[in-house]
């Protein structure tokens, strides 16, 4: 059929009523929640009137309180090289995620007619969910990070209320970080005709690309007899650029090859997205319709060349991200995810590794839209345990099913350029581990032949000896910078990926003396120094990775541990209380940049200049003492001044990795006043300046929202950074004032976070102390349009207010 006649036919059949196609309903509101064992909670007539009413996505544990006794573990962490067990009190965040809980929801499906098919889709449930509908069990799943669905056609009621109940069970000793708890991702009901496209049944690839045209291959699995498939490809403006119609199936699968002329290619710099609209017909009657966003892009991994995107060699400038969103916990929120990605984009980051679990749909959607390459990870454990009640309990029964769901649900995202089948699994040792690695990689290849598979390996010597590392598509090294050369020689792939790098630790705005490299350094205040010279026994400093990335063409990039601090795993204080969140982040738990942000930005962000000065200059009691000054900058040289007196010019040089990437004045003596840095361009002339002044007493508060306009959808959030300044407007970097928050109008106070990994203040209460002079307040919209106002107060400080607007 020619395109002209096909378009005419599409216009004619598009008049068919939408009600004949699928309807997707998100179950968001009116959930009833109760923690604890309830043997009859799945029954239709069970009385849940005393239960808490919540909105899903929901994380029951994030509301705390923090408690040292929660999930207290006496273990030796093998990944950290520990031999002797010790008490770990904050390893899983010290939040009450352990135990059984129930969710119930009553819903009607006015569009549902008997004879249609109904699915219930969960995008994540923590954990071991058992699902009941109208008193009948419809299914169960094991892995809390995976997407899954059940056919509930035989249990659903037409024209009546349906009672859905979900039982969740989180065991202790089941995680190495804060896993969250509850229905923390979307729940949806899909109603469709018997003649329909299968769930996750569309698979789009772009096997041929040139400047003139791209071949878009679309495989579609569908059910029903006498069916015909029509596909339109729309550009980013919604204009049809290509179309195809076919009635030919091979088994259950249609296959279409559609030419797109002058394709716009997807990349982190130009994240151009097309949409395939697939319609299923019986005769001229529309039976189903599915829209799938995709990108036209080409990836390759070649020996001694590395990774190429659209024919251009590039290296991953990536970070690892855990799934929690700081003060929001594990409950997925698109505004919070978008803010994270904006911060990372400004740093020059172009890649994300979902560590160590399957990513949310929202995160992948944003990665597609905003331009991030994505390494989608699956498991932290295989058959051999790291923690007693971890995924090892489910591996044999569920691993293949979990991978199939991961691939089928996410494979159309152009951002995903690599799969990971595991992270630092103990199975790296021995022949059984090699077999498991091959088995898992073969499953990924079977379900998606277009992307390679990696494993984050920390036992590099063992994987060299066993053949484990040699069989992987992409050998991923977690740390072990001293073994890169040996691994490159031993492995046949011709390249190495830094699948996890650095693990440098720091606390935002905290500086320790003397300034020196330190491993596993601990201080009485349970903080780590933001001079960025402290790291773990098994890790290294950022500069060590920079050298490998810059000097070795066969090193194809890195994923830094981590882009943001996360709840749990408070190394190097995991044996100290009250540490309850990580120190690894380039940004803190509130999303505020640490100094290290600018070290990475100075190297990664090629569009904008970077000039950052540290430490702060409020050191009462250190007068005359040595207080080194560091500058992180994209310029090669700079001059430092203290109260107008030059401390000399420093230039980057290769004497040490630190000298190569940082400018450091190690002998500066502290005196109150002004520290100023002047950066010089390649022409030797001053190009940029930055200065820090000694601040006086805290005087007033300053509020800076990331957005003043948010959507009236009950989900959107404005993140308001609160800082304190003296009477001259200078930031007060050591302020710890207790603040109180009030929101009026068409919005609500949601949470606050100050980034202090030792704070036991609960995020959802409307009060919190400043940490290093700052914190962030989260203001959430309602479903009503209008104005809202955040007021922040502190004793002895001028009150501050900011006005926001909630719009459709």
Q: Is residue 753 part of a domain?
A: yes
Give catalytic status of residue 424 as yes or no: yes
How far is Cα 318 from Cα 326, in angstroms, rounded to an integer? 20
In this structure, the answer to whether residues 183 and 272 fall within a common structural domain is no
CB contact at 8 A, 24 and 111: no
Q: Minimal CA–CA distance to 572: which of 624, 505, 619?
A: 505
Q: Quote the number of domains for the chain.
A: 5
**How many Å apart are CA 730 and CA 237, to the nearest integer?**
46
Tens of pLDDT, residues 124-171: 999 999 999 999 999 999 999 999 999 999 999 999 999 999 999 999
Considering the domain architecture, whether residues 341 and 485 belong to the same structural domain is answered as yes
Cα separation, 404 vs 399, in Å, equals 9
Domain boundary residue among 693, 726, 753?
693
Q: What percent of the chain stands above pLDDT 90?
A: 95
Considering only CA atoms, which of 233, 292, 293, 291 is closest in space to residue 262? Answer: 233
Beta strands 253-261 and 213-223 are antiparallel
Full 3-state SS string of 672-708: CCEEEEEEECCCCCEEEEEEEECCCCCCEEEEEECCC
Angle made by CA atoms 388, 390, 395, in degrees to the nearest 5: 120
pLDDT digit string (tens) for 615-634? 999 999 999 999 999 999 99
Q: Copy the structure tokens of residue 598.
A: 């600018």
C-alpha 802/C-alpha 247 separation (Å) is 59
Which of 424, 447, 558, 569 does the annotation list as catalytic? 424
Question: Residue 736 burial (CB < 10 Å; 0-12/13-18/19+)?
Answer: middle
- Residues 338, 418, single domain; the answer is yes
Residue 355 lies in a domain: yes
What's the sign of the alpha-carbon dihedral 567, 573, 574, 580? negative
For residues 650 and 664, the answer to whether their CB atoms sit within 8 Å is yes
Residue 83 pLDDT: 78
For residue 758, what pLDDT band results from cuts at 50, 70 and 90?
very high
Do 268 and 175 fall within a single domain?
no
pLDDT digits (tens, 9 = 90+) for 32-82: 999 999 999 999 999 999 999 999 999 999 999 999 999 888 888 776 777
Q: Is residue 139 domain-resident?
A: yes
Identify whether 512 is part of a domain.
Answer: no
Asked if 635 contacts 611 with a C-beta cutoff of 8 angstroms, the reply is yes
Q: What is the DSSP letter of 124?
A: -
Q: What is the CATH number of the domain that holds 800?
A: 2.60.40.10
Q: Are residues 180 and 141 in the same domain?
A: yes
Contact present, 307 and 350 (Cβ < 8 Å): no
Per-residue confidence (pLDDT) for residue 20, from 0 to 100: 58
Q: State whether 470 and 564 are in the same domain.
A: yes
Q: Check whether 550 has a pLDDT greater than 90.
A: yes
The token pair that represents 488 in the structure block: 């490159």
**pLDDT of the residue at 13:** 34
Sole residue written with tokens 């009621």:
157
Q: Do both 179 and 120 map to the same domain?
A: yes
CA–chain centroid gap for 770, Å, is: 26
From the number of C-beta atoms within 10 Å of its C-beta (0-12, 13-18, 19+), residue 295 rates as: buried
Q: What is the pLDDT of residue 432?
A: 96
Burial of 675 (0-12, 13-18, 19+ CB in 10 A): buried
82 assigned to some structural domain: no
- 18 assigned to some structural domain: no
* Cα separation, 290 vs 288, whole angstroms: 7
Q: How far apart are CA 601 and CA 315, in angstroms?
A: 15
pLDDT higher at 209 or 85: 209
pLDDT for 125 equals 98
pTM, rounded to two decimals: 0.96
- Supply the pLDDT for residue 303: 97
Asked if 425 and 570 sit in the same domain, the reply is yes
Q: Which of 500, 534, 558, 639 is flagged as catalytic?
A: 500
CA atoms of 649 and 462, how far apart (whole Å): 47
For residue 362, the 8-state DSSP code is: H
Kindly tell me if the per-residue pLDDT of 9 is higher than 60. Answer: no
Give the tokens for residue 279.
């319609």
Tokens of 477: 């090294």
Taking the C-alpha atoms of residue 189 and residue 112, their distance in angstroms, rounded to an integer, is 11
| pLDDT tens string 450-497 | 999 999 999 999 999 999 999 999 999 999 999 999 999 999 999 999
Assign 399 to helix, strand or coil: helix
Tens-digit pLDDT profile for residues 666-719: 999 999 999 999 999 999 999 999 999 999 999 999 999 999 999 999 999 999
Indicate whether 513 pLDDT > 70.
yes
CB 278 within 8 A of CB 290: yes
Q: Which domain CATH number covers 561?
A: 3.20.20.80
| Strand ranges for 506-644 from DSSP E | 518-519, 534-535, 555-561, 611-614, 629-633, 637-642
380 and 271 fall within a common domain: no
Cβ–Cβ under 8 Å, residues 602 and 612 = yes
Name the domain boundary from 651, 677, 693: 693
Q: Give the 3-state secondary structure of residue 52.
A: strand
Token duo for residue 642:
């203290």
Q: Which of 232, 260, 294 is the last residue of a domain?
A: 294
User: Annotated catalytic, 500?
Assistant: yes
Instruction: Assign 807 a pLDDT band (cuts: 50, 70, 90).
Output: very high
CB atoms within 10 A of CB 468: 27
Q: How far apart are CA 284 and CA 529, in angstroms?
A: 68
Could you tell me what percent of the chain has a pLDDT over 70? 97
So what's the pLDDT on residue 284? 94
For residue 548, give every residue at least 6 positions away whose Cβ sits within 8 Å of its Cβ, in sequence order, or none: 481, 484, 498, 555
Residue 498 in this model has a pLDDT that exceeds 60:
yes
* Backbone angle region of 237, left / alpha / beta, with phi > 0 → left and psi within -120 to 50 → alpha: alpha
Q: What angle do CA 133, 135, 138 make, to 5 degrees?
A: 45
Strand bridging mode 800-807 / 709-711: parallel
Please tell me the predicted confidence (pLDDT) of residue 14: 33
Please report, for the domain that includes residue 118, its CATH number: 2.60.120.260
Token readout for 19 is: 């009600």
Parent domain of 635: 611-693
Looking at every residue in the chain, the average pLDDT score rounds to 96
Q: What is the torsion angle, in degrees rounded to the nearest 10, for the CA atoms of residue 148, residue 152, residue 158 and residue 163?
A: -70
Whether residue 521 lies inside any domain: the answer is no
Query: For 303, phi and psi rounded to 5 degrees?
Result: -55, 135
- Whole-angstrom distance, CA of residue 253 vs CA of residue 224: 11
Summarize pLDDT for 304-338 with one digit per residue, the tens. Answer: 999 999 999 999 999 999 999 999 999 999 999 99
pLDDT in tens, 711-746: 999 999 999 999 999 999 999 999 999 999 999 999
Residue 734 has a pLDDT of 98
> For residue 19, is pLDDT > 60?
no
**Residue 435, domain member (yes or no):** yes
Same domain, 731 and 710: yes
Residues 207 and 188 grouped into a single domain? no
Axis crossing angle, helix 595-604 with helix 334-347, rounded to the nearest 10:
60
Residues 555-575: pLDDT tens digits? 999 999 999 999 999 999 999
In 411-522, which ranges are continuous DSSP H helix?
431-447, 460-466, 468-471, 484-490
Same domain, 623 and 764: no
Q: How confident is the model at residue 402 (pLDDT cuts 50, 70, 90)?
A: very high
| Secondary structure of residue 548 in the 3-state scheme | helix
């Amino acid at each position: 059929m020619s395109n002209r006649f096909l378009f005419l036919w599409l216009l004619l059949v598009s008049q068919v009523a939408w009600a004949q196609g699928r309807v997707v309903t998100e179950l968001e509101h009116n959930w009833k929640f109760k923690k604890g064992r309830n043997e009859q909670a799945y029954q239709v007539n069970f009385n849940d009137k005393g239960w808490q009413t919540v909105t899903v996505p929901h994380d029951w544990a994030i509301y705390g309180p923090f408690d040292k006794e929660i999930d207290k573990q006496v273990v030796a962490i093998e990944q950290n090289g520990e031999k002797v067990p010790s008490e770990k009190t904050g390893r899983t965040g010290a939040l009450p995620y352990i135990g059984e809980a129930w969710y119930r929801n009553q819903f009607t499906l006015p569009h549902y007619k008997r004879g249609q098919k109904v699915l219930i889709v969960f995008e994540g449930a923590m954990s071991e969910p058992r699902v009941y509908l109208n008193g009948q069990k419809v299914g169960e799943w094991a892995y809390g990070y995976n997407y899954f669905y059940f056919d509930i056609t035989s249990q659903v009621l037409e024209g009546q209320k349906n009672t859905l109940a979900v039982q969740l069970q989180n065991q202790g000793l089941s995680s190495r970080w804060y896993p969250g708890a509850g229905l923390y991702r979307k729940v949806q009901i899909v109603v469709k005709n018997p003649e329909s496209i299968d769930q996750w049944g569309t698979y789009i690839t772009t096997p041929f690309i040139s400047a003139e045209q791209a071949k878009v291959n679309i495989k579609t699995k569908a059910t029903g007899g006498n069916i015909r498939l029509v596909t339109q490809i729309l550009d980013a403006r919604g204009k049809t650029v290509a179309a195809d119609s076919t009635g030919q199936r091979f088994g259950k699968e249609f296959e279409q090859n559609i030419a797109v002329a002058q394709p716009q290619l997807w990349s982190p710099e130009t994240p151009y997205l097309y949409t395939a609209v697939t319609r299923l017909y019986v005769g001229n009657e529309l039976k189903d319709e599915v829209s799938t966003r995709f990108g036209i892009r080409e990836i390759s991994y070649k020996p001694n060349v590395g990774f190429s995107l659209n024919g251009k060699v590039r290296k991953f400038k990536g970070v690892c991200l855990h799934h929690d969103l700081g003060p929001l916990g594990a409950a997925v929120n698109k505004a919070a995810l978008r803010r994270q990605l904006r911060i990372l984009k400004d740093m020059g980051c172009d890649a994300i590794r979902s560590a160590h679990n399957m990513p949310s749909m929202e995160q992948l959607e944003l990665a597609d839209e905003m331009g991030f390459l994505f390494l989608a990870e699956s498991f932290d454990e295989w058959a051999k345990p790291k923690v007693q009640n971890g995924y090892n309990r489910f591996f044999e029964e569920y691993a293949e099913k979990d991978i199939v769901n991961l691939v089928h649900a996410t494979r159309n995202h152009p951002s995903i350029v690599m799969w990971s089948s595991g992270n630092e699994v103990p199975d790296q040792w021995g022949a059984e581990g090699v077999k498991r690695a091959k088995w898992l990689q073969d499953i990924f290849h079977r379900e998606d032949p277009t992307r390679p598979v990696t494993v984050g390996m920390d036992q590099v010597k063992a994987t060299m000896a066993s053949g484990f590392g040699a069989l992987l598509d992409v050998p991923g090294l977690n740390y072990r910078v001293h073994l890169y050369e040996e691994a490159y020689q031993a492995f046949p792939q011709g390249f190495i990926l830094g699948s996890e790098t650095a693990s440098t630790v720091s606390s935002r705005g905290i500086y320790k003396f003397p300034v020196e490299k330190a491993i596993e350094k601990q201080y009485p205040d349970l903080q780590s120094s933001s001079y960025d010279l402290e790291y773990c026994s098994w890790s290294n400093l950022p500069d060590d990775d920079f050298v490998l990335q810059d000097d070795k063409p066969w090193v194809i990039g890195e994923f830094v541990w981590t882009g943001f601090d996360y709840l749990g795993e408070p190394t190097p204080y995991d044996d100290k209380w009250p540490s309850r969140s990580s120190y690894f982040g380039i940004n803190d738990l509130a999303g505020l940049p640490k100094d290290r942000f600018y070290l990475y930005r100075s190297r990664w962000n090629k569009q904008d200049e970077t000039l950052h000065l540290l430490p702060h200059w409020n050191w009462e009691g250190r007068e005359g003492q040595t207080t080194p000054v560091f500058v992180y900058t994209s310029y090669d040289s700079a001059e430092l001044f203290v109260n107008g007196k030059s401390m000399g010019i420093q230039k980057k040089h290769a004497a040490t990795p630190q000298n190569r990437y940082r400018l450091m004045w190690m002998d500066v003596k502290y005196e109150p006043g002004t520290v100023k840095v002047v950066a010089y361009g390649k022409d030797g002339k001053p190009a940029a300046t930055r200065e820090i002044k000694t601040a006086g007493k805290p005087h007033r508060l300053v509020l800076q929202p990331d957005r003043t306009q948010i959507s009236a959808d009950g989900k959107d959030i404005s993140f308001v950074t609160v800082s304190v300044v003296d009477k001259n407007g200078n930031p007060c970097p050591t302020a710890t004032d207790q603040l109180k928050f009030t929101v009026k109008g068409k919005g609500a106070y949601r949470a606050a976070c100050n980034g202090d990994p030792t704070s036991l203040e609960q995020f959802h209460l409307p009060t919190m102390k400043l940490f290093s002079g700052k914190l962030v307040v989260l203001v959430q919209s309602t479903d009503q349009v209008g104005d809202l106002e955040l007021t922040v107060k502190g004793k002895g400080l001028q009150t501050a207010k900011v006005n926001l607007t909630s719009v459709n």
